[in-house]
Amino acid sequence: MSRGLGRCQRRIIELLEKSPERRTNRAELEEVLVGDEGFDPSNVLRAIKGLARKHRVGFTDRPHKKDSVVSLPREVGPIPDEELFELLAQAGGGR
């Protein structure tokens, strides 16, 4: 069995990356994936849960699809030197 992301999972990641807040609900995902692209609804849910197990997305499952949120983790980047020095000074200041 393949350990990489499947086609549906890759498409979910793409859609979330295009979303302004890097998040959406299941209803909106299914509208595109099932309605426009022909995926089966049960496969979409399975793909979301698989991504969540691999910690690739956050998933809050609710009884209604519009309330079920799928999101990408925050983007991380380098901490500017000034911010890092300030954090280090705060951490060492209590000693």
CATH number for the domain harbouring residue 59:
1.10.10.10
Is the residue at 15 inside a domain?
yes
> Which of 72, 17, 3, 10 minimizes the C-alpha distance to 44?
10
pTM for this one?
Answer: 0.74
Is the residue at 12 inside a domain?
yes
Is the residue at 1 inside a domain?
no
| Residues 13-65 pLDDT 10s | 999 999 989 999 999 999 999 999 999 999 999 999 999 999 999 999 999 99
Is the four-CA dihedral 18, 20, 26, 32 of positive or negative sign? negative
75-82 mean pLDDT = 86
Domain count for the chain, please give it.
1
Domain holding 37, by residue range, is: 7-92
Burial of 63 (0-12, 13-18, 19+ CB in 10 A): exposed
Q: How confident is the model at residue 2 (pLDDT cuts 50, 70, 90)?
A: low
Is the residue at 2 inside a domain?
no
Q: Which pLDDT belongs to residue 61?
A: 93
61-72 mean pLDDT = 94
